[in-house]
Amino acid sequence: MIKDVPERSDFDGIGNALLNQAWGDLISLLANLEAAKNWLAESGDEEGADEADEEAYWASAATKLSTALAIAHQAAEFYIKGRIVEVSPFLLLANGVRDWPRADSDGHTSFSKLRTVDAQDLVRLHDRCASAPMGDAFKRQLEDLRVQRNAIMHTVNKEIVLSSNDLIRTILGIHRNLVGGSWLAFRRSSLENSGDRKLYSDAEGWLEENLIEEFQVVQPMLSVAEVQAVFELPAGQRRYFCPNCSWDTFDGHGQMVCSATLRPNVPDGATVWCPLCDKAQPVERRDCQKMECLGNVITFEWDRCLTCGGRQEHCED
């Protein structure tokens, strides 16, 4: 008897862990670079970090980028295996019965000891047995990723040049095509169940602070359409500073977070909503007191204009 036969949830669980690890490693690299830029700006260094400095930083981080790419590819493989297993786990077996290992002392054989199909055959196998095949563009992306991963893991190829921009889109593409659903919900779930969360269980706003940091470092690297899709910002709507994220959760970082939109989106809308903290907050519709600002969305709690961030003098009746 074959024991320990895996289910889709087994593969999906490992895939989630790997994809989140690849993303977390990449975010750490981007956040470190952003922190250095901010430190130089605050210290009065007029030149700051120039292009040569950034190139040197990414050159030194090449191994970490390569590792993150390999982990992301491994995540994709687990997701694909999970889909195949949902049809039948035995579709993954590569060898005939005569090539199976000897049974264990209990007379059974663990599924993990059986050889499974090679990575290069997973996509073909998936498309033969799954209810819907993968898109051609994504299959090409997976094949390119597999080739890069093999070059990284099995040899030294100095011609491979990885970029953080490409890796961001690779990870997001794997999630979009093999996981689906909300990226923010995916990340929120990972952070909520992480080991770090256990350490900071009493730290109010820890989870949101991490999501905000990811938003701040990633959004400048994405197109408008990508930001809307990944961070669930309504298309075509004006964005405002989120009161909660800017002056509560992320206040100690000295950055305002432009992640809120009017809900509903009407001329006299009196509420803004932010997908990062998932909070709806009341606002007052009156003109900003700053001469150069045309904004008219003011937060009650902090007396700030959500267009320019400027403080407002409290008006007494």
Is 240 contained in some domain? yes
Q: Based on the domain organization, do 211 and 80 belong to the same domain?
A: no
Let me know if residue 83 belongs to a domain: yes
Average pLDDT over residues 58-76: 92
Q: What is the pLDDT of residue 251?
A: 75
The total of structural domains in the chain comes to 2
User: In terms of domains, do 176 and 210 share one?
Assistant: no
Residue 237 lies in a domain: yes
Residues 212 and 172 in one domain: no
Is residue 248 in some structural domain?
A: yes
In this structure, are 106 and 226 located in the same domain? no
Give the domain-ending residue among 145, 180, 215: 180
Q: Is the pLDDT of residue 308 over 80?
A: yes
Residue 189's identity, in one-letter code, is S
**3-state SS string for the chain:** CEECCCCHHHHHHHHHHHHHHHHHHHHHHHHHHHHHHHHHHHCCCCCCCCHHHHHHHHHHCHHHHHHHHHHHHHHHHHHHHHHHHHHCHHHHECCCHHHCCCCCCCCCEEHHHCCECCHHHHHHHHHHHCCCCCCHHHHHHHHHHHHHHHHHHHCCCCCCCCCHHHHHHHHHHHHHHHHCCCHHHHHHHHHHCCHHHHHCCCCCCHHHHHHHHHHHHHHHHCCHHHHHHHCCCCCCCCCEECHHHHHHHCHHHCCCCEEEEECCCCCCCCEEEECCCCEEEEEECCCCCCCCCCCCCEECCCCEECCCCCECCCCCC
- Domain termination site, one of 141, 165, 180: 180
Evaluate whether residue 73 is within a structural domain: yes
For the chain, the average pLDDT equals: 88
Does one domain contain both 225 and 279? yes
pLDDT at 250: 76
pLDDT tens-digit map of 140-178: 999 989 888 887 776 655 556 678 999 999 999 999 999
Span of 2-6, 101-105, 277-281, 301-305 with lowest mean pLDDT: 101-105
**Shared domain check, 85 and 170:** yes
- Among the three residues 144, 163, 180, which one is the final residue of a domain in this structure? 180
At residue 301 the predicted structure's pLDDT band, cuts being 50, 70 and 90, is confident
Q: Domain residues for 296?
A: 206-305
Q: Which pLDDT score, from 0 to 100, does residue 7 have?
A: 95
Residues 268, 216, single domain; the answer is yes
Residue 297 has pLDDT above 70, yes or no: yes
pLDDT band at 123 (very low <50, low <70, confident <90, very high): very high
- Verify that 23 and 134 share a domain, yes or no: yes
145 and 12 inside one domain: yes
pLDDT surpassing 70 at residue 285: yes
pLDDT score of 12: 97
Does residue 172 sit in the same domain as residue 57? Answer: yes
Whether 230 contacts 258, CB under 8 Å: no
Percent residues over pLDDT 90 in the chain: 60
Look at residue 317 and tell me whether its pLDDT is greater than 80: no
Residue 198 lies in a domain: no
For residues 69 and 169, membership in a common domain is answered with yes
- Quick check: is 285 in a domain? yes
pLDDT digits (tens, 9 = 90+) for 172-230: 999 999 999 999 999 999 998 888 877 776 666 788 889 999 999 999 999 989 999 99
Residue 117 has pLDDT above 70, yes or no: yes
Give the residue among 147, 201, 199, 198 at the shortest CA–CA distance from 170. Answer: 147
Residues 218 and 300 in one domain: yes
pLDDT band at residue 44, thresholds of 50, 70 and 90? low
Predicted confidence at residue 218, as pLDDT, reads 95
Tell me, yes or no, whether 300 lies in a domain. yes
- Please state the separation of Cα 18 from the chain's center in Å: 12
